[in-house]
Chain A
Amino acid sequence: MSHPEIDPLPESEDVKSGAGAASTDELGPSYLTVTKTISSWVFTLDHKRIGLMYLVGVLFMFLLGGVFALLVRTELFSPLAILTPLFASTPEAQADLYNKWFTTHGAIMVFLVIIPGVPAALGNFVLPLLLGAKDVAFPRLNLGSFYLWVTGAIFFIYVLFSGGIDTGWTFYTPYSAESGTAVIPALIGVFILGFSSIFTGLNFIVTIHKMRPKGMTWFKMPLFLWATYSTAVIQVLATPVLGITLLLLILERTLGIGIFDPRNGGDPVLFQHFFWFYSHPAVYIMIVPPMGVVSELIATNSHKRIFGYTYIAFSSVAIAIFSFLVWGHHMFTSGQSTTMNIIFSGITFSVGIPSAIKIFNWLATMYKGAIVLNTSMLYGISFIFLFTIGGLTGLFLGVLSIDMHLHDTYFVVAHFHYVMMGSGLVGFIGGLHHWWPKMTGKMYDEFLGRIACVMVFIGFNLTFIPQFVMGSLGMPRRYYTYADKFEGYHQLSTIGSYVMAAGFFLTAYYLIQSLISGKKAPMNPWGGNSLEWHTPSPPPLENFYSVPVATDPYDYVGMEYDQATGNYSTIKPDQLPARREER
C-alpha cells in the first residue's frame, strides 16, 4: 500500500546477463531510496525493509545481550565479588544481581537474537529474492510479526528497568513461580515473541509452497530455502506449545492453578517436559537456518557445485523431524522414568547423523574447488569447525551414563554455546557478510573483516574450551562464586570473551564504515548463481526488473570475473560494453 508504482525499466542486456556492475541507482531507485519518509519505513510492507529493521533490532539486542555476557564473564574472573559490589552492598544482593545478569543474557540471546536472527532478519531479506518472488506471501502479517518482535523486546527492556529477572532463561518451576522478580512481564514477552516466530514461519512455508518461480522444483531450490522451510515447520508446530506452557506459568504465579507448582499440587517435572518440547526444537530453529547459510557460503565461495545436494536437503528435514522427539534428554537426572531416559537417549543419537552428513558434504564441496578466502568464507569455515566441536560434545551428553556426571555443569554451558553461538551466531554473521553488499549496496573492508573473523574465532575457542574442562572436572553451572581450583579456567575464559568482544566491535566498526564510505557493491561480488545475485545491489522495490527464470543455483561454470568491477557475470570481461569501464 505504501508502494508507489515504479516503472519497469527497459530490460537492459546488462541486467539480464548479470554483467550489471551497475548499482541500482543508475538503473532506477533501489528499495532503500525509492521512498524516504520515516513512515515509508515504519509501515513498509516490503520484505527487504522489514528484514533490515529486524536486522537492526536483532543486532541491538545482540549488543545488549553481549554486554550482559561480558558482565557475567568479568564477575567470574575471580571467585570473589568483582563487579557486583559496584551495584549492590550485601553479598546476598550481589548474588541476586549476578543471577539476574546471566538470566538476562540467556533470555535476550535466545529469544531476541538467535531465534529471529537468521530466519527473521536474513531470511526475510533473502527468501523472496532466492525465490525470484516480489515479496513473501503475507506482507502485512510479516510486518505484524516484526512489531510483535518489537513488543516482546519492549517487554524485556521493561523487565530490565523493573529490577530484572533471576529465574534463568529456562523459567523452571517452582522457582519461577515464587521468585520475587519481574517474571510475568518476561513471560509475556516470550509469549509474544513466540507468536512473532510462528507468523514468520507460517509466512515462509506458504511463500515457499506457493510462490516458487517457473522452473524451480523442490530439488532446484537453494539449500537455504530447505533450511528455512524445515525451520518454519518447527516454528509453527513447536512454538504454540511453549505459548500455552508460559500462559499456564503466568496463571500459576497469579492464580496458583496447581499445574506446575508442587505447593499447589502441581508437578515441576511436567513443566520441564513442556518447556523442552518447545525449547529443544528451538535449538534447531537456531542452528538449521545457519546451516542453510553455510551451504550457500561454502558453495558460492568455493565456486563449485554443492556436494550431495539431496543429502543436505533431506538432512535438514530429518533434523526438523527428530528435533521433536528428543526433548527428554534435557531431563536425564530430573527423575523421569528410566525407560524414558533410555528412549530419549537412543533417539538423541539419531540427530547426530544428519549433522555429520552435512559436515562431510561441505568438506567435499570444498575439495577441488576454487576457494576464495573472503570474510564470509572464513566464517563458513569457522562454522564447520565450531559446529563439529558443538556436535561432538553433544555426544557426551547424549550418552546416559556420562550425562549423569556432566549434566548441569559448565560442560553443558560450553556445548550449547558452541552450538548456539559458535554455530548459530557465526553462521548468522557469515550470512550477514555474504548478503551485506546485496542489502546495503556497499562493500566492507575485507582486510578488517578477516582480522575480526579470526579474532572472534580465537576468542570464542579461548572462552569455551576451558569451560569444557572445568565442567567435566565438576564445576556446576549458574554459579556466582566457585571453588578456587576452577579459577584459572575461568580467567582464561574471561580473557577469551574479551578477545571475542573486540572482534565483534571491530566488525561493527567496519560495517558501519562501509555504509558511510564503502565502495559501491557490484551486482554479484561473490560469484553466486542463485537468483538474488541476478538483480542489482541493492535490489529495486519489487526485487527484479524482469521475471527471473530459475536456473541451477549451484552452477558456477559460466561465471566470469571482472577484475575492474569486482563483479561476476556470464559475460567475459573483454566482451563487456565499454560503458562499464569508466568506474
Chain B
Amino acid sequence: MIAIPTILADSEPSFWLPAPVSNFAGPIDGDFYFVYWVSIFFLVLITLLLGIFMWKFRTPPGAKAQSHKDHHALLEVVWTGVPIILSVMMFWYGYRGYVDMVVPPNESISIVAEAQKWAWNFSYASNGAVIPGMSDDFNDVRAQIRAGALTPEEANAAEAKILEKAGLHVPMGVPIDVTVMAADVLHALFIPAFRVKKDCVPGRTGKLWFIATEPGIFDLFCAEYCGQGHSWMHSKVVVHETVEEYEKWLAVAGSYDETLPFADNGKIVWKRRGCISCHSIDGSKKVGPSWDGMFGSTRKFAATGTPGESIADEAYIQESIRFPMKKIADGYPPQMPVVKLTDKELLWVTEYIKSLGQNSGGTVSPRKDN
C-alpha cells in the first residue's frame, strides 16, 4: 500500500513537470525553470542567512545585541530593486508565452469539447461526429488495475480498446483549435502534458489551441470543481502520428453500427452521451432516477416543474430528454442538462430504456426504484 518509493522510480521524465509533448510545453517549461531557479536562489540565500544568523547570534536571555544599526539605504535599494527587475522579467516572459496561447492559427482542426456533469463530449467539426470521453470506462479500468484483475499490459489493451471510440483524438504536428463549452456548471479542460487549460463556462465559449508534438496517449482532466463526479471526470488524449491515421480513426469512431439492434445502440448512446453518469441501469439511485424498470411505471412529478403524474411511455421519455426541466421526477433534483441527441440516438435510447424492463401496471412509484 505504501507507494512512496514510486515517486523516485516514476516514469515521468522530469521531477517537476510531465513529458513536454506540445508546442507550448517548451516555452512554458522554460518560463517555469526560470522562475524556479530564481526562487531556488532566493530560498537558499534566505535559508542560509536565517541559519547562519540563528546559529551565530544565538544567546541566552539577557545578552546585548552587538549592533543597533537599523537602516541602510543602499541595502534597501538593492533588495527593492533586484526583485523589481526580476519581477518585470517574469511578467514579460509570462506575457509573451501567454499571448501565443490566445489566438489559434487560421489553418487548424476545430474540435468542440463540451463538458457536462460528469462527462466529456468531443465533437469534430470535419464530420460532426460526437465522441464521448467515456470517463466511466476509464474508471473501470483503474479500479480493475487496483483490484489486481488486470496486469498493466492488459490495462493498456483495455484502454486502447475504449479509445477506439472515445477520447480526444488529434493528429500530431497540426494546430488543434478546441472550443470549450459547459452544459450545466463550471468545468475546465486540462491536459497536463500539453500545458493547456481552459474553464468551460456555461453560457460562454472558451478557446484553447495547441500542436501536439509526439504521438501517444495522455491524461485529460476536469480541473474546475463541478460536484460529485469531479474526480471521475477524466479522459484521454490520443495523438495520432499522421493526419491520415487520425482521419481514418474519425471516420470509424464517429459512426454507429446500424446493423446492431436498436437497444444495443441505445446502450452505446447511454454511455457515449453521458446518460450513464446520472442514470443507473441496475436500480441504484444516482442523481437521476434509475432506468431499471422505469418504462411503463407511473412517474410522480415534483412541484418545481409541472406537477402531476404520468405513465413513463415513449412520449414521456422523449419529452424528458428534450425538455428535462419540464417534468421533474419527484424526489430528484432538477439538474438534468439538455443533451442534444440526434433523432436516431433518441430512438435507440428509448428502445434501450424499454428493454430494461417494463412494469405491468401503473403501481410502481419512482421512489421504489431505489
The answer to whether any beta carbons of A and B sit under 8 Å apart in the complex is yes
Give 1 or 0 for each of B89-103: 1 = CB within 8 Å of chain A CB: 011011111110110
B261, chain A: closest CB distance, angstroms: 30
Contact A473 B333 (CB under 8 A): no
B215 at the A/B interface (Cβ < 8 Å)?
A: no
Give 1 or 0 for each of A290-323: 1 = CB within 8 Å of chain B CB: 0000000000001111111101000000000000
Kindly list chain A residues whose C-beta atoms are within 8 Å of the C-beta of B356: none
A507 at the A/B interface (Cβ < 8 Å)?
A: no
Contact A399 B31 (CB under 8 A): yes
A562, chain B: closest CB distance, angstroms: 8
Contact A408 B2 (CB under 8 A): no
B362, chain A: closest CB distance, angstroms: 28
Q: How many residues of A are counted as interface, with CB atoms below 8 angstroms from the partner's CB atoms?
A: 107
Q: Which residue of B lies closest to A170 (CB)?
A: B225
B367 at the A/B interface (Cβ < 8 Å)?
A: no
A368-B65 contact, Cβ under 8 Å, with A360-B79, A491-B4: yes
CA distance A404 to B188 in the complex (A): 11
Contact B62 A563 (CB under 8 A): yes
Q: How many residues of B are counted as interface, with CB atoms below 8 angstroms from the partner's CB atoms?
A: 106
Task: Tell me the chain A residues, 329-370 only, with Cβ under 8 Å from chain B.
Answer: 333-335, 338, 341-342, 345-346, 349-350, 352-353, 356-357, 359-361, 363-364, 366-370
A508, chain B: closest CB distance, angstroms: 26
Kindly list chain B residues whose C-beta atoms are within 8 Å of the C-beta of A175: 185-186, 225-227
Contact B198 A335 (CB under 8 A): yes
CA distance A304 to B145 in the complex (A): 61
A299, chain B: closest CB distance, angstroms: 9
Task: Tell me the chain A residues, 412-433 only, with Cβ under 8 Å from chain B.
Answer: none
Contact A561 B61 (CB under 8 A): yes
Kindly list chain B residues whose C-beta atoms are within 8 Å of the C-beta of A364: 72, 75
Kindly list chain B residues whose C-beta atoms are within 8 Å of the C-beta of A267: 203
Among candidates A174, A342, A404, residue contacting B101 with C-beta atoms closer than 8 Å: A404
Among candidates B62, B146, B219, residue contacting A80 with C-beta atoms closer than 8 Å: B146
Contact A172 B186 (CB under 8 A): yes
Contact B223 A408 (CB under 8 A): yes
CA distance A369 to B96 in the complex (A): 45
Task: Tell me the chain B residues, 31-45 only, with Cβ under 8 Å from chain A.
Answer: 31-32, 35-36, 38-39, 42-43
CA distance A100 to B101 in the complex (A): 35
Kindly list chain A residues whose C-beta atoms are within 8 Å of the C-beta of B4: 488, 491-492
Among candidates A388, A407, A472, A527, residue contacting B197 with C-beta atoms closer than 8 Å: A407
Kindly list chain A residues whose C-beta atoms are within 8 Å of the C-beta of B88: 349
CA distance A561 to B63 in the complex (A): 8
CA distance A370 to B66 in the complex (A): 7
B254 at the A/B interface (Cβ < 8 Å)?
A: no
Of the listed stretches A14-22, A88-96, A233-241, name the one at the interface; the rest are far from the partner chain.
A88-96
Footprint of A on B, CB under 8 Å? 1-7, 10-12, 15-18, 24, 27-28, 31-32, 35-36, 38-39, 42-43, 46-47, 49-50, 53-54, 57-72, 75-76, 79-80, 83-84, 87-88, 90-91, 93-99, 101-102, 142, 145-146, 184-186, 188, 190, 192-193, 195-199, 201-204, 206, 219, 221-232, 234, 284-287, 333, 335
Which 8 interchain pairs have the tightest Cβ spacing? Answer: A474-B192, A401-B97, A561-B62, A399-B94, A262-B203, A400-B98, A349-B87, A487-B3
Footprint of B on A, CB under 8 Å? 78-80, 90, 92, 95-96, 99, 166, 168, 172, 174-175, 178-180, 262-263, 267-269, 302-309, 311, 333-335, 338, 341-342, 345-346, 349-350, 352-353, 356-357, 359-361, 363-364, 366-374, 381, 384-385, 388-389, 392-393, 395-396, 398-405, 407-409, 466, 469, 472-474, 476-485, 487-489, 491-492, 527, 554, 556-557, 560-561, 563, 566, 568
